[in-house]
C-alpha cells in the first residue's frame, strides 16, 4: 500500500513537491486533478511530468485503487447502492439518494463496525479496519463521476441536480462504521471535501452521525466546524438503549445530550435525533411521551426511521399507523419531527446488508475479478 496523495492537505503536498522536484506549483496541479477533476490515476494527469510521477512512486506515494464491483438501482425511488472493493480486498458500501434539495451521498467511514448496535448489519462481523481519508473521498468522487457521466437526461441520472448544478451537493457520514471511532481520518476527509479547490462542498451540507461517543463530540467542538451533527439515539431511556446499543453501557443519554447541547451552542447547527422505530421495542405511546420529556426545550429535529429489517436480526419495522401515532405524540409536545423516506428497501439499502450478502456469495471479496455482471442493472438483485 502506498501513501495515498488524496489524503494530503495542500500544504503537505507543497512540502512534498519541494522535496521531490523543487516545483511547489505541482502541488496545485496534483490537487486539481485529484479533487476537482476527480482523476484516480497518474495516467490521466496530462501536465504532470513522468519524472515526477516516477519520483512519487519511488518515494512510496500514489493513488490506491478502489474498484466499483456492484451497483444496484432501486426500482422504487432511484436510490443507488454501490459496493467498492478497496486495494486490500475489503468491501465497503455507499449510497446515492435523491432529495428535493439536491443529491446526497452516504459514505462509510470504516470497513465493518465495532459498536455492536443490535439492529445494524454493519456490526455483525465486527470492525475490520478504519478507512483512510482518501478511501472516504473515493466513494464520493466515484459516485460524482458516475452521476456526471450519466447526464441529466439519462434514466440512470438523479432527477434533481445538486446545489449549483453539482452531481453531489450533500454528504452524510452515516454508512458502515462509527465516524468518531475513526476521528482523525474523518476530520481530514471533511476538510478535504470542503476545500475550495476541490468539490467545495459546504460544511453546512455535511452531516456526521454518531452513536454517542462523548469525547469525540467534545473534540468536534474544538475543530470549529460548521457540520451538522446527528445522534443515533433509538431509545428514550438508558435501560432500553443498553438493550439495543452497547455504547450505552459507557455513556448515558444525559451525558451524551449535554455534549450535543454544547456542540449546538458552539456553532448553532441544529441537532438531529435519529430514532429507528422497532416494532414492540421502542415505538409505544409511552416511549414517545418519555422521548418528548427527554428532549423538551432542546433545538432538535427528530428523524423517525422505520427500521430496515435485517436478515440476521429478529427486529421488525413499525407499521405506518404506529409511526404516525408516534409522530403525533411528539408533535403534540412541541417536538419537531420528520419521517425518513424508506429509500432503497428493495436493494437492501440499510447499512451492511448488501456488503455481507455479496461477501457471502463471492467469498471475502479479495483477489477476485470484477463481478458486476447483470447485477449492475436496475434492481436485479
Question: CATH number of the domain that 166 lies in?
Answer: 3.20.20.70
Rounded CA gap, 31 and 336, in Å?
41
- Same domain, yes or no, for 58 and 73? no
Count of domains for the chain: 2
- Residue span of the structural domain in which 176 resides: 67-367
CA 187 from chain centre, in angstroms, equals 13
Examine residue 377 and state whether it is found in any structural domain, yes or no: no
Rounded CA gap, 97 and 91, in Å?
20
- Same domain, yes or no, for 74 and 166? yes
Closest CA to 176 of 215, 247, 124, 234: 124
Q: Which residues of 249-284 are buried (b: 16+ CB within 10 A; e: fewer)?
A: eebbbeebbebbeebbebbebebbbbbbbbeebbbb
The backbone region for 379, taken as left when phi is positive above 0, alpha when psi lies in -120 to 50, beta otherwise, is: left
Rounded CA gap, 210 and 248, in Å?
12
Average pLDDT over residues 168-175: 96
- Same domain, yes or no, for 220 and 349? yes
Q: Can you name the residues that pair with 124 across neighbouring β-strands? A: none
Do 248 and 282 contact (CB within 8 A), yes or no? no
- Same domain, yes or no, for 126 and 230? yes
Of 120, 239, 351, 359, the active-site residue reads 351
**Residue 50, C-alpha cell as written in the block:** 513522468
Q: Given a cut of 90, is residue 261 above it in pLDDT? A: yes
Integer angstrom CA distances of residue 52 from 4, 14, 20, 56, 193? 15, 13, 7, 6, 25
State pTM to two decimals. Answer: 0.89
Examine residue 372 and state whether it is found in any structural domain, yes or no: no
**Residue 292, C-alpha cell as written in the block:** 418528548
Per-residue pLDDT at 378: 30
- Same domain, yes or no, for 319 and 356? yes
Q: Given a cut of 50, is residue 376 above it in pLDDT? A: no
- Same domain, yes or no, for 281 and 331? yes
Sequence-distant (6+) residues with CB within 8 A of 43 are none
**Residue 356, C-alpha cell as written in the block:** 455481507
91-140 tens-digit pLDDT: 999 999 988 778 999 999 999 999 999 888 888 889 999 999 999 999 99
Q: Given a cut of 90, is residue 251 above it in pLDDT? A: yes
Rounded CA gap, 167 and 154, in Å?
13
- Same domain, yes or no, for 27 and 85? no
Catalytic annotation present for 211: no
Rounded CA gap, 137 and 116, in Å?
25
More reliable by pLDDT, 258 or 355: 258
- Same domain, yes or no, for 109 and 217? yes
Rounded CA gap, 338 and 320, in Å?
13
- Same domain, yes or no, for 81 and 137? yes
Count Cβ atoms below 10 Å from residue 217 Cβ, excluding itself. Answer: 22
Average pLDDT over residues 53-71: 95
Catalytic annotation present for 113: no
- Same domain, yes or no, for 239 and 348? yes
- Same domain, yes or no, for 159 and 22? no
More reliable by pLDDT, 18 or 76: 18
Of 93, 132, 135, 178, the active-site residue reads 93
Percent of the chain with pLDDT over 70: 85
Amino acid at each position: 500500500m502506498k501513501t495515498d496523495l488524496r489524503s494530503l492537505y495542500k500544504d503537505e503536498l507543497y512540502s512534498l513537491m519541494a522535496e521531490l522536484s523543487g516545483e511547489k506549483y505541482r502541488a496545485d496541479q496534483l490537487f486539481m486533478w485529484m479533487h476537482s477533476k476527480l482523476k484516480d490515476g497518474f495516467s490521466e494527469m496530462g501536465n504532470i511530468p513522468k519524472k515526477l510521477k516516477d519520483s512519487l512512486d519511488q518515494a512510496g506515494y500514489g493513488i490506491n485503487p478502489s474498484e466499483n464491483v456492484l451497483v444496484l438501482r432501486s426500482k422504487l425511488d432511484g436510490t443507488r447502492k454501490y459496493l467498492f472493493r478497496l486495494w486490500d480486498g475489503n468491501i465497503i458500501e455507499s449510497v446515492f439518494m435523491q432529495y428535493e434539495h439536491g443529491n446526497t451521498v452516504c459514505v462509510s467511514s470504516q470497513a465493518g463496525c465495532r459498536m455492536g448496535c443490535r439492529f445494524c448489519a454493519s456490526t455483525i462481523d465486527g470492525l475490520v479496519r478504519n478507512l483512510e481519508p482518501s478511501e472516504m473521498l473515493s466513494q464520493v468522487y466515484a459516485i460524482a463521476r458516475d452521476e456526471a457521466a450519466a447526464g441529466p437526461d439519462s434514466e440512470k441520472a438523479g432527477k434533481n441536480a445538486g446545489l449549483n448544478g453539482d452531481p453531489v451537493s450533500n454528504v452524510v457520514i452515516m454508512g458502515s462504521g462509527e465516524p468518531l471511532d475513526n476521528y482523525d481520518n474523518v476530520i481530514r476527509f471533511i476538510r478535504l471535501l470542503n476545500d475550495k479547490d476541490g468539490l467545495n462542498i459546504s460544511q453546512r451540507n455535511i452531516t456526521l452521525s454518531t452513536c454517542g461517543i462523548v469525547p469525540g463530540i467534545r473534540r468536534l467542538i474544538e475543530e470549529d466546524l460548521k457540520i451538522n451533527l446527528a445522534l443515533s439515539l433509538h431509545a428514550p431511556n438508558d435501560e432500553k438503549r443498553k438493550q439495543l446499543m452497547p455504547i450505552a453501557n459507557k455513556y448515558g443519554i444525559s451525558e451524551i445530550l449535554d455534549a450535543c447541547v454544547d456542540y449546538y451552542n458552539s456553532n448553532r447547527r441544529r441537532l438531529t435525533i435519529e430514532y429507528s422505530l422497532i416494532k414492540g421495542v421502542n415505538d409505544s405511546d409511552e416511549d414517545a411521551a418519555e422521548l418528548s420529556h427527554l428532549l423538551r426545550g432542546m433545538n432538535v429535529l427528530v428523524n423517525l426511521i422505520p427500521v430496515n429489517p435485517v436478515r440476521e436480526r429478529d427486529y421488525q419495522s413499525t407499521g405506518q399507523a404506529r409511526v404516525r401515532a408516534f409522530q403525533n405524540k411528539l408533535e403534540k409536545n412541541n417536538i419537531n419531527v420528520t419521517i425518513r423516506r424508506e429509500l432503497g428497501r428493495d436493494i437492501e439499502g440499510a447499512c451492511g446488508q448488501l456488503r455481507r450478502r455479496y461477501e457471502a456469495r463471492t467469498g471475502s471479496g479479495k483477489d477476485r475479478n470484477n463481478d458486476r455482471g447483470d447485477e449492475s442493472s436496475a434492481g436485479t438483485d
